[in-house]
């Protein structure tokens, strides 16, 4: 897709022109590892696509800071962890600020805690440090419609992902429970490290609990209250940029990222 400049008012977000760049990557929707063939092109956060865009910012060497704008209730645990890793790698090279929109919960918070600083609105719904797992049991439905399914497998648990026609066996339920417990502890411990908080204190804030931005600040889950303007100001501060570094022209460089020449706000639609 070709570059399509867009004019931005100079006073927007404190922008006034300059040569340095701040990347702003906007994410919205539920989290998946890959795009489903049944989903629309703009549906949700696709880990493989977002990771590619974050890497492009990290490898470009043009950006002085990055803002990850998050509006997500969560989704796939592995996808969230993969994006967490990529954001952490970005944060080792430039300051990264997570800016929470309406919702940044569960996987949305997982992404945010990879940033060096987290900013949320007063009424943002965040937290939900927890894990949900399970499977469908469609046995009664299949019986009602006369559908029969036979599975040929090798290995004790090989058929489990395809066995939606029956309930868990006790050993399978135990396996799922252990997997969920492992994923939960991984999530909680990363949040503990990110927020420099004792494990027992983080456990009080976790357990799937949802907080408003104001409450999250009181419990140490975020750093500041504010919107995009506050996040951009943090980007200026941490990257040692002055307001004169910001720009007034935006260029659409891909489906995901806009760049503002000067401090480029790389804002994806």
Would you give the distance in Å from CA 44 to the centre of its chain? Answer: 11
Q: Is pLDDT at 42 greater than 70 in this prediction?
A: no
Q: Is pLDDT at 96 greater than 50 in this prediction?
A: yes
- Four-point Cα dihedral 98, 102, 105, 107, nearest 10: -60
Would you give the distance in Å from CA 39 to the centre of its chain? Answer: 19
Percent of the residues in the chain that have a pLDDT greater than 90, as a whole number: 51
Would you give the distance in Å from CA 237 to the centre of its chain? Answer: 23
Residues 193 and 216 in one domain: no
**Last residue of one domain, picked from the residues 153, 168, 197:** 197
256 versus 64: the higher-pLDDT residue is 64
Q: What angle do CA 171, 174, 180 make, to 5 degrees?
A: 145
128 versus 172: the higher-pLDDT residue is 128
Residues 141 and 8 in one domain: no
- Say how far apart CA 80 and CA 76 lie, in whole Å: 6
pLDDT number for residue 3? 33
Q: Is pLDDT at 255 greater than 60 in this prediction?
A: no
**What residue has token string 């949320």?**
120
Give the DSSP letter string of 19-52.
Answer: S-EEEEEEEES-EESS--TTS-TT-SEEHHHHHH
Which strand (E) or helix (H) includes residue 71?
strand 63-72
Tokens of 265: 């706000």
Give this prediction's pTM: 0.81
Give the total number of structural domains in the chain. Answer: 2
**Which domain, by its residues, includes 101?**
4-128+209-261
Assess if residue 151 is contained within a domain.
yes
Q: With contact defined as beta carbons under 8 Å apart, do 125 and 214 qualify?
A: no
> Model confidence at 263, in pLDDT bands (50, 70, 90)?
very low
Residues 145 and 214 in one domain: no
Looking at 72, 101, 106, 128, which residue is catalytic? 106
> Model confidence at 9, in pLDDT bands (50, 70, 90)?
very low
| Segment among 22-26, 60-64, 79-83, 259-263 with least mean pLDDT | 259-263
Q: What angle do CA 212, 96, 229 make, to 5 degrees?
A: 60
The chain-wide mean pLDDT, for the chain, equals 81
Q: Assess whether 196 carries a catalytic annotation.
A: no
Residues 10 and 89 in one domain: yes
Q: Is pLDDT at 131 greater than 80 in this prediction?
A: yes
Tokens of 117: 């600083």
Q: Is pLDDT at 158 greater than 90 in this prediction?
A: no
> Which distant-in-sequence residues (6+ apart) come within 8 Å of 101 by Cβ?
28, 69, 70, 71, 121, 124
Percent of the residues in the chain that have a pLDDT greater than 70, as a whole number: 78
Assess if residue 268 is contained within a domain.
no
Phi, psi of 122 (to 5 degrees): -55, -40
pLDDT number for residue 22? 81
> Model confidence at 38, in pLDDT bands (50, 70, 90)?
low
- Say how far apart CA 250 and CA 232 lie, in whole Å: 15
pLDDT number for residue 97? 95
Assess if residue 246 is contained within a domain.
yes
Residues 60 and 173 in one domain: no
Q: With contact defined as beta carbons under 8 Å apart, do 131 and 187 qualify?
A: yes
| 187-213 tens-digit pLDDT | 999 999 999 999 999 999 999 999 999
């Amino acid at each position: 897709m070709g570059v399509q400049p867009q004019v931005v008012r100079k006073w927007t977000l404190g922008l006034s022109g300059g040569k340095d760049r701040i990347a702003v990557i906007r994410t919205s929707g539920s989290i998946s590892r890959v795009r489903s063939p049944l989903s629309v092109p703009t549906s949700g956060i696709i880990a493989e696509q977002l990771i590619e865009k974050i890497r492009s910012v990290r490898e470009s060497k043009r950006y002085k800071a990055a803002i990850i704008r998050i509006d997500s209730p969560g989704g796939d645990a592995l996808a969230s962890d993969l994006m967490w890793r990529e954001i952490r790698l970005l944060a080792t090279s430039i300051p990264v600020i997570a800016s929470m929109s309406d919702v940044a919960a569960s996987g949305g918070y997982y992404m945010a805690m990879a940033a060096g600083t987290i900013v949320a609105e007063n009424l943002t719904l965040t937290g939900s440090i927890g894990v949900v797992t399970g499977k469908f049991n469609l046995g009664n439905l299949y019986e009602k419609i006369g559908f029969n399914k036979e599975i040929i497998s090798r290995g004790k648990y090989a058929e489990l992902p395809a066995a939606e026609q029956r309930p868990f066996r006790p050993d399978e339920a135990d396996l799922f429970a252990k997997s969920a417990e492992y994923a939960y502890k991984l999530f909680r411990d990363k949040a503990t490290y990110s927020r420099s908080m004792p494990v027992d204190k983080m456990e009080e804030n976790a357990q799937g609990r949802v907080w408003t931005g104001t409450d999250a600040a009181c419990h140490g889950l975020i750093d500041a209250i504010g919107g995009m303007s506050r996040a951009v100001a943090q980007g200026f501060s941490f990257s040692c940029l002055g307001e004169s570094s910001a720009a007034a022209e935006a260029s659409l460089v891909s489906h995901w990222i806009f760049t503002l020449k000067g401090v480029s706000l790389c804002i994806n639609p």
